[in-house]
Structure 1
């Protein structure tokens, strides 16, 4: 089939990962249908392809009727939908478990040939984190309804517009000290462009059908090392202060009640455990992707958090 004749539906395509994925897919010539709850929030994606190549439609993965309409006629489906904290009707179970089941079941019923499902490292049905346990239930549902699906488990994903390094940089720009919570916990940040490349391959490569891929970058960092790097690249020379666990839980309780919580109790439960690729797991290396180093990318957007702005180096020079 000619690439221009193929249609890929992306649920949650209007977000951080979705925007990069649409760019990568558009370059291959496929038609892209972006299914989001609020279409007006994803109109910035239409210019990423040729005229008419990128279509934005309304869909909510909690609503099977809208999912079916978004999947109709698609050759491949990618589900990127996930939440970091609960709000209103957007609950971990309804979005990351039940929603994942609806997408997989509907894709199978509509005869879709490829399904790529975004999960996360740390997905564990026995976890005390609602996020992690719901991700695991979502994986189980996908495997049940669509056994040949490709499941991706990334560590934290970074790049311009991420909600990881940018969040800590925002803290560094506003506070006189940088609190360190569970500073020994390990992470293996993976570049959003590398994740998008894996998805593009999974959509077109039959050899990846039925596989679970763990995606991590070329280097493992402790939480303390990540915060040190953020402070360095944002030119905010702050003392790093360890927060004892009891104080961290109290902090998570109160900050989690904010309309846009900076940290929640559930996120603290995730921070307690390492977020790195398992020994022997298939991932970037098995696909021949070297992985993009954090240090090669984050200076390009950490500059916006510098006290003197993006031209700080020139001013200081």
Structure 2
């Protein structure tokens, strides 16, 4: 996409811009000419993003979605807002309801008060107010709050997001490095992995006004695969022979209760790699793919002018490091 100077020096505040998706969004918006203000709890963790733009084009400010006054301050003088704040699991004060529902509401209401009607909110495929999953319910509540405050807002729901810093392919590649078996709950559940760069381009397109106001877009890549097939892909790329242990949802919930207990007893020191929650097991009972309705109505990446990129083409460019000899694989001497 060619949107250079689309921002014309105006300010866009990106909440959660220091995270995995954020760094790509910041780059895309800076390329389009926006002055990017990254609002996050730890501004020092966003300083590395300043080279994404020209001198002075990218700056970080302190803001916490649980503190409305800091959110309002981060929006002063801004023309547009992007909300990327979200969590995959609860921890301490970081609760789904506080971050993904109330936090989204705080940002949207602050945008309304500031007279800003250009807002892009990142949600997730599977957001559902009637879901048994707290994560899915909080995502749905966040969407509703955003559209209630700013009816012209654009909601983007990605499937699982992949990229060099992702917590999906990298997680299972790490497990394959250290363990003889990989447990998989919901082996037949389908995913449609979407490249983080494509999500960033979707954000940039929506901010530039190329999305339908008030619409909900679903973002997925060109391939739909089962969970088990994605694990097999990781094993093939990393050249690891591991047993894939397909667990039932009931067994998954039992394992989740055990790992959650260990996490509490260890005061949070239990390895993140081995953690699983009952809420995550609940989510795995439903496919995570773009709906037929979204495809028919053009509420997809293609509808935003973005051609989705394949995980089969991109993921191997960073998963190679999990092979026994990593980047030196081609130079390995045979015994």
Correspondence 1:235 to 2:239: yes
Aligned partner of 1:110 among 104, 108, 114: 114
Aligned partner of 1:7 among 11, 16, 19: 11
Correspondence 1:268 to 2:281: yes
Quote the residue 2:87 is aligned against.
Answer: 83
* 1:126-165 to 2 correspondences below 5 Å: 126-165=130-169
Unpaired stretches in structure 1, ≥5 consecutive residues:
none
Residues 141-150 or 229-238, more deviating: 229-238
Instruction: Work out the CA distance in 2 between the residues paired with 1:302 and 1:245.
Output: 28
**TM superposition shift of 1:251:** 1.2
Correspondence 1:301 to 2:301: no
Instruction: Count the aligned residue pairs.
Output: 317
**TM superposition shift of 1:316:** 5.8
The C-alpha deviation readout for 1:132-182, integer Å capped at 9, x for no partner, is 000000011011101000000110010110111111111111101122211
The C-alpha deviation readout for 1:76-96, integer Å capped at 9, x for no partner, is 000000001111111000000
Instruction: Work out the CA distance in 2 between the residues paired with 1:75 and 1:198.
Output: 18
* 1:1-317 to 2 correspondences below 5 Å: 3-205=7-209, 207-257=211-261, 258=263, 259=268, 260=272, 262-281=275-294, 282-315=299-332
The C-alpha deviation readout for 1:226-259, integer Å capped at 9, x for no partner, is 0000111112121222223332212111223422
Cα distance change, pair 4–287 in 1 and its aligned pair in 2 (3 A): closer
When the two structures are superposed, what TM-score results if normalisation uses the length of structure 1? Answer: 0.96
Instruction: Work out the CA distance in 2 between the residues paired with 1:255 and 1:169.
Output: 20
SS in 2 for 1:43: helix
SS in 2 for 1:147: coil
Is residue 210–residue 304 contact of structure 2 (8 Å, CA) maintained in 1? no
**TM superposition shift of 1:17:** 0.3
The C-alpha deviation readout for 1:55-109, integer Å capped at 9, x for no partner, is 1000001110000000111110000000011111110000000000000000011
Is residue 154–residue 211 contact of structure 2 (8 Å, CA) maintained in 1? no
When the two structures are superposed, what TM-score results if normalisation uses the length of structure 2? Answer: 0.91
The C-alpha deviation readout for 1:261-297, integer Å capped at 9, x for no partner, is 6321111111111000110301112223221001111
**TM superposition shift of 1:314:** 3.1
Unpaired stretches in structure 2, ≥5 consecutive residues:
none
**TM superposition shift of 1:313:** 3.0
Cα distance change, pair 298–206 in 1 and its aligned pair in 2 (3 A): closer
**TM superposition shift of 1:49:** 1.0
Instruction: Work out the CA distance in 1 between the residues paired with 2:178 and 2:78.
Output: 46
SS in 2 for 1:310: helix
The C-alpha deviation readout for 1:182-225, integer Å capped at 9, x for no partner, is 10000001000110001001001154321110001111010000
Cα distance change, pair 232–90 in 1 and its aligned pair in 2 (3 A): same
